[in-house]
Amino acid sequence: MEPIRRVTAPTLDVLEALLAGDGPTWGLLVIKATGRQAGTVYPILERLERQGWVASSWDDDADRPGPRRRLYEFTADGVVAAQELVAARPAAAASARAARPSSRPVTP
């Protein structure tokens, strides 16, 4: 597993979303959880996979209509490293992220 050379806020958001998931998570759920654009999230997921942090597979649910989903989950080493990075996330960055507008629906 390669270390992440440049840890950005979007990368931390993606790591956080994957950590919050219960098992393999498909890309659109990561997009919704982070409020980031697909053009930001998918390159991060691809980079994490190339570096050995996550593994991906295709959903094999033939009964579900629509295109197949690509599922992402941490490798054993990746989950430990992701937990360490997210835990080290500066509090100021977390509060700035919370203030960032997103396209997610607001629930009362």
How sure is the predictor about 102, in pLDDT bands with cuts at 50, 70 and 90?
Answer: low
Percent of the chain at pLDDT exceeding 70: 83
In a domain, 43, yes or no: yes
Tell me, what CATH number does 71's domain have? 1.10.10.10
- Tell me the per-residue pLDDT of 6-59, one tens digit each, with 9 for 90 and over: 899 999 999 999 999 989 999 999 999 999 999 999 999 999 999 999 999 998
Token pair listed for 81? 């490293």
CA dist 75 and 103 (Å) reads: 30
In a domain, 94, yes or no: no
- DSSP codes of every residue in 65-98: -SSPPEEEEE-HHHHHHHHHHHHTS-HHHHHHHH
CA dist 57 and 59 (Å) reads: 7
Full residue range of the structural domain in which residue 31 is found: 9-87
Q: How many domains does the chain have?
A: 1
- Distance of alpha carbon 49 from its chain centroid, rounded? 11
